[in-house]
Structure 1
Amino acid sequence: MKKQLLLALFAIPVIANAQFFQNFEASTSIPTGWTALNGGDTNTWEIIDYTGGSITAYSGARTASIRYNSDAHDDYLVTPAITVTAGVSDYLSFYARSRDPLYPETISLKISTTTPTAAAFTNTLAATVAPSSGPDFYRYSYDLSAYIGQTIYIGFYSATTDLFYFDIDDVLNGPKPACDIPSSIVVNGVTSNSANISWTASATPGATYQIEYGPTGFTQGTGTIANSGTAFATLPSLTPSTAYQFYVRSNCAANGFSTWSTAQSFTTTCAPLATFPYTENFDNATIPSCWGNEAVSGAGVATWTYVTTNGNSSIMPKSAPRMAEFRTEEAGEKAKLLLPPLNISALANPELRFSLANVNWFGDIDELRVFYKANPNDAWTQVGSSYTTENAAWLDVSIPLPNKSANYLIALEGTSNWARGIDVDNVSVVDTSATLAVNDVAKNNGVKIYPNPVKDVLNINTDKKVSSIEIFSLTGQLVRKLDNNSKQVNVSDLKKGVYLLRVKSEGKDESFKIVKD
């Protein structure tokens, strides 16, 4: 679905009332009445046809675009002359896209009140037009009423160097709308039975809003209607694992309703799992049921895959036939792999376990971090360590899960440094049934941590060689680290509270909750 973003006061009017509407569909030449001014590198504004390509225009098959060059742009795409008249031509809107997150293009909007020549564009309507990079278009709208009575030209101006492509489409000049369409619509906090939506508040004082929603594909007029006095609403009583569609419109009282927004969509999550232990071994070539992918802003669009071997065939699945892997050919890309929502509220001592391998390539090592949310609306919080050193054989990891809840989310975030991949297998959530108020904590492999709670010295009892010991605050801050085979840690100087103890030994990376008394 095309994303829309309103950056000024008003939204798009009915096209029939427009002074001009240009979607660049007539030909592959700059439209009649428009002007391309090339003052910099050899590349300038052009019309691009997307027929048969992997991305599309906002509407139709073409956009007006400017593409990268190693020399600086100094280029204008200039509209026809606009005689700004109240209620007739006092408004401008268009859709824009910056294609590549690694090379984000921007433009500015300039105004000439005399001629369509570069030197005449001395007024700035918008200093920076910078849509979020990627294949989606965002809508920009501007009030031209400051120029009523004047004839103006609007220039889409590019001055960047060696970035990628900036595309514009559906440029409209017409009357300022009486009631603005909701824009910047955002969906978040999606659960198995509800979703939160928000949008840019109307510029009309006292405006209220109406939402119509239903399963994807429903016919407008047959959906469920909800009303809101603010630019926010929660859609309740939804069905798990279901795709939904919704529309929003403003109610400007005396000016009536705006038209509906374009269709927006989301899919509810699965109902939270409440039976444990829960285990996933990634036995299929596709993402497991109820798992999800979440992009990391500005870090590419790659997702996790499910493979039979890693990048140099040095790692085979811990549990055949497949394992989850994050590996890309672009350094710096990231992606979160989300477990199904979990109801861990009744577990005495919930713990995440998984096996990890990440083989280097000429010294580069892909990285893994683990995050959680106690509630879908919360920000992600890292839990446990950052796994940034090589594990050329499987490492078994265990991490206690803090802040139990009935709608708990866990994400495995891979970071690509163009190495052999982050490989994960045998992911499970278990209840260790351990209690912090006893004098030791026993694990299945024989590691004991005592006393717990601890006042001065914490003992680690294991027959394995310990390579490192780390203590973290519950917010992820490293407060103590020992790199030798020590089996004791002096914690007398730590403040009272709960900490996370990480013990790394042969083939194991285990974490324990400890209480400093």
Structure 2
Amino acid sequence: MKKTLLQKIILSAFVLLTLSTGKMNAQANIEYTFDGATWEGWTAQAGTGAFVSTFANNPNGALEISWTPGAETRNIIMYGNGPEATLNASAYKYIQVIISNTSSQIDVLRIRGRVSEGAFTNFIDVPITTNVADSFSTYNFEITNGSFDGTLDRFQIVFRRSDNGVITDDMATIEVDNILISTSTTLSTKNNNVSDFEFSISPNPTNDILNINTQEDLNSIEIYDLLGKKVLTANKSSKQINVSALNSSMYIIKLTSNNGVSIKRFIKS
């Protein structure tokens, strides 16, 4: 993440999964950290029209959005193509976004989308502030719009002016450090993992074998998709798991021992 040391300490623990007494909720949180070399399923909009954006990976771990504004540019957009694009909007109503916005004109974050191939709806407008370079703000909000219900087939995050004016400051950027979509009201600080004991996995991403390295005597090894569905159970003594049968996506590996539960994310390529 692109953070100062103090920010890293403060923002040290948002769990990827909601756990109760060491057990996984039926539905996991959906989280995007932008720590790797990809945009994690999000796409940009080229051109100089009403909706525009250009993506780049900041080397310190954030998705950097820039734009070349045109005469009608009013929306700096992120198109969701991952699990959020087929989201159960009846359950996932809580969102946390951590961004650095250096535009003096952009002051609204909008969640926009479409449910069951219906009309596009602006579900919520969240006021945001202007940041100095390398400083981040955290926005936690609940979508209470009654139209945010059912299954989404389109999901967008839009940055815009509250007065609906044209965006002209082409030297500004928005850095997106983290997006978290949750069924829980307890959005606080974030973490990529839950960790009662140490373990590592490699390679990540992987297309076949996932290696586990831990000193723990494990009671179970389980793999879940991002909707919280268990997709694989491995032998507890196994140090190598064959994940070749899984679809290309992001998954969660959960290890349980007498010392507790530890969780990490991995990508099946």
Q: Which range, TM-score by smaller chain?
A: 0.3 to 0.5
Q: TM-score w.r.t. structure 2 length?
A: 0.46
Whose Rg is larger?
1
Q: Please, what TM-score do these two structures have when normalized by structure 1?
A: 0.26
